[in-house]
Amino acid sequence: MQIPSRNTLTLLFSGLIFASFFIAGVLGFLDYLIVKAILFSAFTLLAIYLISIVLKNTETE
């Protein structure tokens, strides 16, 4: 079994964040502070990960 690539993992993670925002918004859970904190921290971690990938790719070129 192959390990998924970074692109696949990033796409999967961003899809999960989007689905979480959508489901929490539709069901009304987005009003709770803890749900907002979890979703926004996941979004922030994804942004940091993407920035690190971009910086690593520019250093290797």
Alpha-carbon gap, residue 58 to 1, rounded angstroms: 30
CB–CB of 22/39 below 8 Å? no
Alpha-carbon gap, residue 47 to 15, rounded angstroms: 13
CB–CB of 53/6 below 8 Å? yes
Residue 7 has pLDDT above 70, yes or no: yes
User: Residue 39: phi, psi to the nearest 5?
Assistant: -65, -45
Residue 47 has what pLDDT?
85
Residue 41 has pLDDT above 80, yes or no: yes
Residue 1 has pLDDT above 70, yes or no: no
Work out the mean pLDDT of the chain and round it to a whole number.
83
Residue 1, token pair as written in the block: 């079994």
Identify the residue whose tokens are 């910086």. Answer: 55
